[in-house]
Amino acid sequence: MFTIDKPLPAITEDGAPYWAACREGRLAVQRCTACGHLRFPPAVLCPRCLAEAHEWTPLSGRGTIYSFIVVHRPQHPAFFADAPYNVAIVELEEGIRLHGNVIECPNEELRIGMPVEVVFEKIDDEVTLPRFRPRP
C-alpha cells in the first residue's frame, strides 16, 4: 500500500535545545535572564523586554487541557488513517501552552481542565514528540 510520511517539525537553530530535551524525555523552554519571562516558542528576543539573554529551564510536564478538537477529516493525507484523532492545547503548570495529542484516553472522555502529563514518542533520531496522557 502507498503511504505518505507525516510532516515533522523543522528543527531550527533557536529550537534545537527544545528538541534535544525532548529526545532526553523532558520539556525545557527559554527563560529570559533579564526579566524571567518563559518563552515559547523559542525566539531570539524576549517578547516582553526584548533581551537576548536566556537560559534553558526545565518544565514540570504537568498541566491541564486548555482546549481540544477531534479531527474527523484530516487536511493532510498522511493523517487519514489516524482519524478520528485529537489535537489539544495543554496549559502547563508554568503557564506555557503546548499543542499535542492526548493518548491513553478515548476522544469522548476528553474534557477541558482534565489534568494531563507529558509523555514522549520517538519518531526518528531527530524528532521526539511530546504527547500527553491523563494523570490522576
Residue numbers at the binding site for Zn ion (CB under 5 A): 32, 34-35, 37, 46, 48-49, 51
- Please report which helix (H) or strand (E) contains residue 19, including its range: helix 16-23
For residue 98, which amino acid is it? L
User: Residue 91: which residues within 8 A CB-CB, separation 6 or more?
Assistant: 63, 64, 65, 66, 97
For residue 99, the minimal CB distance to Zn ion (Å) is 24
For residue 29, the minimal CB distance to Zn ion (Å) is 13
Instruction: For Zn ion, give the closer residue by CB, 35 or 87.
Output: 35
For residue 48, the minimal CB distance to Zn ion (Å) is 5
Instruction: For Zn ion, give the closer residue by CB, 28 or 32.
Output: 32
Q: Are 45 and 52 in contact (CB under 8 A)?
A: yes
Instruction: For Zn ion, give the closer residue by CB, 14 or 117.
Output: 14
User: Residue 70: which residues within 8 A CB-CB, separation 6 or more?
Assistant: 84, 85, 86, 107, 110
Instruction: For Zn ion, give the closer residue by CB, 52 or 121.
Output: 52
